[in-house]
């Protein structure tokens, strides 16, 4: 398996049964398996047809990924594609043609730095990432062309207004192919352009495509027009132009202008990213600035949300995100300039954003009035009082309006993510599940616990939120602290909207069912509690201040009557793996064991984040190392299980290789589970099952 195990199965059985925790969990009448709680289909890529009452999404069921659709008004779900098996082939960038008759999508993972497409199945044939189309009524996929996306989440397919062509960015170019499949022409590059081309957007009449040409320290917005053999550069400058958006009538093009990169910039103090909104008049070939941010840190471009939030709406308004008051809010500004209107006032943050069908209002998700959940709201593009569309103990995200109805994805504390249609206005804040049949009959909803919201303070006064999963068994129990990755994430009081954390939430439920008290911690550098919480001046490689929140979580657990204070463990992935390792290195007296999935162990080796020309380069490298687990390796005593795929594109596998040798030198008990050819977010369902099974078994041995 790649993990060190006892040599005889009988010894394993004896060891497991020597743990009263495990044996009590096995005999409880309400126990469920890890496979059961991980069996629900996870929905992503919810999209709608522009001119038909049809939605589509991707279901991933035990690693088997397929496209589904549903039609208004009844929204009865049906499967379109029929891929079989846990094959490690994700589906991304799903789109419906405007008439809803065909779906287009990318299949396969992005490429690594060597140009290799991930294949954790150990198949001997080389894989490729490709773009496919399927006629909804026929269900037979046809190949449009290769993609080979070069970084996580960069898949971006755009359909022409006529539904005739698809374009996408890959291999530093924009590619175009007919969707019908009737033409013999294969996908071809749209045009030769220096740099790296991305973010293609069709004009409303389908005669032009705007895109971004990234030249490294600057970038341009470029317009390609069919029938012309020259490109048009939109108000070129030495700054970085991003996010081109056409006006509804195609006469104007809005874009974001971010300041250009500076050389010899200090690294330790945070630097602001000032930006502006420009509008370009296509007929007159002229652009002008209509809004400009301030120069402070709060005024920086909100890179997390701007791509989705930046929208050219009706009524000559442009909608955008800004954190100028310290919170991620929506604003709008007139295309002829003037002051921006705050659309979402209050101490909360917005996330998913969509325009209504007529583009006169914004439908968005936020944590307004419910800080550790998501609900849907609507507000006019010119302002007004936001209207709550959903509320209560449910959660909703990815809203769309179609045929006069709002559809979304959603979950609860005990019901996994599913597509929903929101009740019409006047019927309260109800919602109805669209796809009921795919949920397995033995999914253990009735046996899951509802986590409690808890709030505690770190030693330096920061207020930290968490979710407490308490088992139904009584008496002092082992406890586990779950630490999410990102770190720009937030765990919530229900099944998560990202597959990685949907799995983690299910695992926390499983651990609680096995008898552990589990505390999931939303430490500083995470989202939805304001920019100052998300970007502390001493976070990450600048000091690792967020580790104080993990210590505070441990001290919160210690006095609880159902917790054995000497049996507290840590587990988490990515940034959560980093903080797990920090806990074991700095506080082995507090944290008895840990499971570190693909964690960062030495910030100082991230050379791309520490440019050589920085005046404080040496100080930044020193501080980054001091903020890392490796700096405290001599005080690491607690046992650890290291888990990682060796084709990880987010955290280099060398981080695990190096830590393993250091721990061996310290004679720390270390176990390992290595997945050849797996990436950061495991592509195969069985990889998650193996990793989580090994995690529970490891804690069963170490926290007897």
Mind listing the pLDDT tens digit for each residue in 192-223? 999 999 999 999 999 999 999 999 999 999 99
Give the number of other CB atoms < 10 A from CB of residue 226.
12
Question: Do 31 and 159 lie in a common domain?
Answer: no
464 has which bridge partners?
A: 456
Range of weakest confidence among 26-35, 65-74, 482-491: 26-35
Average pLDDT of 272-299?
97
pLDDT at residue 704 in the model: 81
Note whether residue 423 is domain-resident: no
**Exposed, middle or buried: residue 263 (CB in 10 Å: 0-12, 13-18, 19+)?**
exposed
Q: Positive or negative, the Cα torsion across 678, 684, 688, 691? A: negative
Q: Positive or negative, the Cα torsion across 371, 373, 374, 376? A: negative
DSSP code at position 445: G
pLDDT at residue 655 in the model: 98
Strands (E), 412-476: 418-422, 431-433, 452-457, 463-469
496 to 115, 396, 490, 493, 502: CA distances (angstroms): 31, 10, 9, 9, 4
CA atoms lying within 13 Å on the CB side of residue 364: 29
Range of weakest confidence among 139-148, 202-211, 389-398, 445-454: 139-148
Confidence of residue 417 (pLDDT cuts 50, 70, 90): very high
pLDDT at residue 294 in the model: 97
Map tokens 């929208």 to a residue. 311
Range of weakest confidence among 10-24, 397-411, 521-535, 661-675: 10-24
Spatial strand order of the sheet with 405-411 comes to: 395-402, 405-411, 418-422, 431-433
pLDDT at residue 20 in the model: 39
Show which of 161, 190, 219 is a domain's final residue: 190
| Nearest of 513, 514, 508, 479 to residue 592 by alpha carbon | 479
Contact assessment for residue 407 and residue 421, using Cβ atoms and an 8 Å cutoff: yes
Map tokens 């939805």 to a residue. 528
Q: Which helix (H) or strand (E) holds 547?
A: helix 547-557
| Nearest of 393, 364, 389 to residue 493 by alpha carbon | 393
Average pLDDT of 338-351?
98
DSSP code at position 12: H
pLDDT at residue 438 in the model: 81
Confidence of residue 2 (pLDDT cuts 50, 70, 90): very low
Note whether residue 359 is domain-resident: no
The string of DSSP letters for 69-116 reads EEETTTTEEEE-----S-----EEEEEE-TTSSEEEEEESPPB-TTSP
Question: Do 135 and 113 lie in a common domain?
Answer: yes
Determine the Cα–Cα distance for residues 593 and 479; give it in Å rounded to an integer: 11
Answer yes or no: is pLDDT of 28 > 60: no
281 has which bridge partners?
A: 252, 286
Determine the Cα–Cα distance for residues 674 and 586; give it in Å rounded to an integer: 25
Answer yes or no: is pLDDT of 523 > 50: yes
Question: Do 13 and 71 lie in a common domain?
Answer: no
Contact assessment for residue 421 and residue 410, using Cβ atoms and an 8 Å cutoff: no
Determine the Cα–Cα distance for residues 351 and 529; give it in Å rounded to an integer: 12
Determine the Cα–Cα distance for residues 275 and 298; give it in Å rounded to an integer: 12
- Looking at every residue in the chain, the average pLDDT score rounds to 93
Map tokens 């070939």 to a residue. 285
644 to 294, 312, 531: CA distances (angstroms): 42, 42, 31
pLDDT at residue 474 in the model: 84
Note whether residue 128 is domain-resident: yes
Write b or e for each residue in 412-451: b if 16 or more Cβ atoms lie within 10 A of its Cβ, otherwise e.
bbbbbbbbbbbbeeeeeeebeebbeebbeeebbeebbbeb
Contact assessment for residue 109 and residue 90, using Cβ atoms and an 8 Å cutoff: yes
Answer yes or no: is pLDDT of 242 > 50: yes
Q: Positive or negative, the Cα torsion across 628, 661, 642, 519? A: negative
Note whether residue 515 is domain-resident: yes
| Nearest of 619, 627, 581, 624 to residue 605 by alpha carbon | 624
Confidence of residue 182 (pLDDT cuts 50, 70, 90): low
493 to 20, 359, 397: CA distances (angstroms): 29, 32, 14
Q: What are phi and psi of 588, to 5 degrees?
A: -65, -20
Range of weakest confidence among 136-145, 396-405, 450-459: 136-145
Question: Do 120 and 15 lie in a common domain?
Answer: no
Is pLDDT larger for residue 181 or for residue 89? Answer: 89
Note whether residue 334 is domain-resident: no
**Exposed, middle or buried: residue 72 (CB in 10 Å: 0-12, 13-18, 19+)?**
middle
Q: What is the pLDDT of residues 39-90, one digit of tens each?
A: 999 999 999 999 999 999 999 999 999 999 999 999 999 999 999 999 999 9
Contact assessment for residue 383 and residue 391, using Cβ atoms and an 8 Å cutoff: no
Average pLDDT of 670-695?
98
| Nearest of 595, 505, 512, 519 to residue 550 by alpha carbon | 519
Spatial strand order of the sheet with 165-170 comes to: 157-159, 165-170, 173-178, 188-189
Map tokens 């020597």 to a residue. 18
Q: What is the pLDDT of residues 577-602, one digit of tens each?
A: 999 999 999 999 999 999 999 999 99
pLDDT at residue 439 in the model: 86
Determine the Cα–Cα distance for residues 577 and 498; give it in Å rounded to an integer: 18
| Nearest of 192, 193, 190 to residue 201 by alpha carbon | 190
Question: Do 32 and 103 lie in a common domain?
Answer: no
What does the longest C-alpha to C-alpha distance in the chain come to?
A: 80
Contact assessment for residue 469 and residue 451, using Cβ atoms and an 8 Å cutoff: yes
Name the pTM for this structure: 0.94
Note whether residue 238 is domain-resident: no
pLDDT at residue 228 in the model: 95
Is pLDDT larger for residue 509 or for residue 27? Answer: 509
Determine the Cα–Cα distance for residues 551 and 560; give it in Å rounded to an integer: 15
pLDDT at residue 185 in the model: 66
Map tokens 């995200």 to a residue. 397
Average pLDDT of 422-437?
74
Question: Do 634 and 651 lie in a common domain?
Answer: yes
Show which of 132, 156, 190 is a domain's final residue: 190
Map tokens 């396969």 to a residue. 108
Give the number of other CB atoms < 10 A from CB of residue 139.
14
Determine the Cα–Cα distance for residues 527 and 546; give it in Å rounded to an integer: 13
Q: How many residues would you count in the chain?
A: 704
Question: Do 168 and 21 lie in a common domain?
Answer: no
Show which of 190, 224, 254 is a domain's final residue: 190
Q: What are phi and psi of 623, to 5 degrees?
A: -65, -40
Answer yes or no: is pLDDT of 429 > 80: no
CA atoms lying within 13 Å on the CB side of residue 295: 0
Confidence of residue 425 (pLDDT cuts 50, 70, 90): low
| Nearest of 112, 65, 116 to residue 86 by alpha carbon | 65
Confidence of residue 13 (pLDDT cuts 50, 70, 90): very low
Look up the CATH number of the domain holding residue 672.
3.40.50.1820
Note whether residue 614 is domain-resident: yes
Average pLDDT of 458-485?
96
Answer yes or no: is pLDDT of 27 > 70: no
Structural domain range at position 675: 9-38+448-702
What token pair was written down for 645? 């795929």
The string of DSSP letters for 492-503 reads -SSS-SSHHHHH
Note whether residue 213 is domain-resident: no
Question: Do 605 and 695 lie in a common domain?
Answer: yes
Question: Do 122 and 30 lie in a common domain?
Answer: no
pLDDT at residue 24 in the model: 41
Question: Do 601 and 673 lie in a common domain?
Answer: yes
Q: What is the 3-state secondary structure (H, E, C) of 642-667?
A: EEEECCCCCCCCHHHHHHHHHHHHCC
Confidence of residue 440 (pLDDT cuts 50, 70, 90): very high
Q: What is the pLDDT of residues 358-376, one digit of tens each?
A: 999 999 999 999 999 999 9
Question: What is the number of domains present in the chain?
Answer: 2
pLDDT at residue 424 in the model: 67
Is pLDDT larger for residue 689 or for residue 171? Answer: 689
Confidence of residue 533 (pLDDT cuts 50, 70, 90): very high
Determine the Cα–Cα distance for residues 387 and 344; give it in Å rounded to an integer: 10
Contact assessment for residue 187 and residue 131, using Cβ atoms and an 8 Å cutoff: yes
Determine the Cα–Cα distance for residues 462 and 593; give it in Å rounded to an integer: 26
Q: Which helix (H) or strand (E) holds 597?
A: strand 593-597
Q: What is the pLDDT of residues 296-324, one digit of tens each?
A: 999 999 999 999 999 999 999 999 999 99
Average pLDDT of 233-241?
98
Q: CA 663, 478, 673, 148: dihedral to nearest 10 degrees?
A: -110
Question: Do 461 and 570 lie in a common domain?
Answer: yes
Question: Do 94 and 53 lie in a common domain?
Answer: yes
Look up the CATH number of the domain holding residue 65.
2.130.10.120
**Exposed, middle or buried: residue 240 (CB in 10 Å: 0-12, 13-18, 19+)?**
buried
């Amino acid at each position: 398996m790649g993990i060190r195990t006892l040599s005889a199965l009988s010894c394993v059985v004896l060891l497991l049964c020597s743990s009263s925790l495990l044996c009590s969990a096995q005999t409880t009448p309400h126990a469920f398996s890890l496979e059961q709680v991980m069996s629900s289909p996870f929905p992503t890529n919810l999209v709608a047809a522009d001119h038909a009452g049809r939605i589509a999404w991707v279901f991933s069921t035990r690693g088997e990924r397929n496209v589904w659709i549903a039609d208004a008004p009844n929204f009865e779900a049906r499967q379109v594609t029929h891929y079989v098996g846990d094959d490690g082939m994700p589906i991304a960038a799903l789109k419906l043609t405007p008439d809803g008759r065909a779906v287009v999508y990318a299949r396969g993972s992005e490429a690594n730095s060597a140009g290799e497409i991930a294949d954790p199945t150990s198949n001997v044939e080389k894989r490729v990432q490709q773009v496919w189309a399927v006629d909804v009524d026929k269900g037979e996929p046809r190949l449009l062309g290769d993609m080979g996306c070069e970084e996580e989440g960069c898949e971006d397919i755009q359909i022409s207004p006529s539904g005739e062509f698809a374009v996408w960015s890959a291999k530093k170019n924009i590619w175009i192919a007919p969707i019908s499949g009737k033409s013999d022409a294969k996908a071809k590059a749209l045009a030769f352009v220096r740099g790296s081309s991305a973010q293609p957007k069709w004009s409303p009449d389908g005669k032009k495509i705007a895109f971004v040409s990234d030249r490294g320290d600057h970038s341009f917005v470029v317009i390609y027009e069919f029938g012309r053999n020259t490109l048009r550069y939109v108000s070129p400058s030495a700054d970085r132009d991003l996010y081109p958006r056409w006006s509804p009538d195609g006469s104007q093009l809005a874009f974001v202008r971010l300041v250009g990169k500076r050389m010899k910039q200090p690294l330790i103090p945070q630097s602001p990213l000032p930006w502006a909104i420009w509008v370009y008049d296509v007929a007159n070939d002229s652009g002008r600035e209509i809004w400009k941010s301030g120069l402070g840190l709060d005024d920086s471009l909100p890179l997390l949300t701007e791509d989705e939030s930046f929208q050219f709406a009706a009524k000559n308004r442009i909608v955008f995100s800004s954190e100028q008051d310290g919170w991620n809010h929506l604003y709008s500004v007139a295309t002829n300039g003037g002051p921006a209107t705050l659309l979402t006032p209050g101490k909360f943050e917005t996330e998913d954003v969509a325009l209504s069908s007529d583009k006169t209002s914004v439908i968005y998700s936020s944590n307004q009035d419910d800080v550790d959940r998501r609900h849907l709201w609507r507000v006019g593009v010119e302002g007004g009082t936001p209207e709550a569309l959903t509320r209560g103990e449910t959660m909703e995200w990815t809203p769309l309006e179609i045929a006069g109805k709002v559809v979304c994805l959603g979950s609860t504390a005990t019901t996994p993510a599913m597509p929903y249609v929101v009740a019409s206005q006047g019927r309260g804040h109800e919602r109805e599940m669209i796809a009921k049949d795919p949920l397995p009959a033995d999914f253990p909803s009735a046996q899951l616990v509802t986590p409690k919201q808890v709030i505690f303070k770190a030693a330096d006064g920061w207020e930290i939120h968490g979710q407490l999963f308490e088992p139904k068994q009584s008496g002092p129990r082992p406890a586990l602290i779950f630490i999410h990755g990102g770190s720009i994430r937030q765990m919530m009081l229900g099944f998560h909207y990202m597959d990685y954390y949907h799995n983690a939430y299910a695992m926390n439920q499983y651990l609680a069912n096995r008898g552990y008290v589990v505390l999931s911690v939303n430490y500083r550098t995470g989202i939805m509690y304001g920019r100052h919480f998300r970007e502390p001046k001493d976070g990450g490689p600048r000091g690792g201040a967020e580790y104080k929140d993990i210590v505070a979580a441990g001290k919160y657990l210690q006095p609880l009557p159902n917790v054995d204070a000497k049996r507290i463990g840590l587990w988490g992935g990515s940034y959560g793996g980093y903080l797990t390792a920090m806990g074991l290195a700095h506080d082995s007296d507090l944290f008895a064991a840990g499971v570190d999935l693909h964690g960062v162990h030495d910030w100082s080796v991230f050379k791309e984040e520490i440019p050589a020309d920085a005046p404080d380069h040496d100080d930044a490298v020193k501080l980054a190392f001091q903020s890392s687990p490796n700096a405290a390796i001599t005080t690491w005593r607690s046992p650890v299980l290291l888990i990682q795929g060796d084709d990880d594109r987010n955290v280099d596998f060398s981080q695990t290789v190096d830590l393993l040798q250091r721990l061996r030198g310290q004679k720390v008990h270390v176990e390992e589970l290595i997945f050849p050819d797996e990436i950061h977010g495991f592509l195969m369902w069985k990889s998650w099952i193996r990793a989580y099974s090994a995690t529970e078994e490891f804690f069963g041995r170490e926290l007897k």
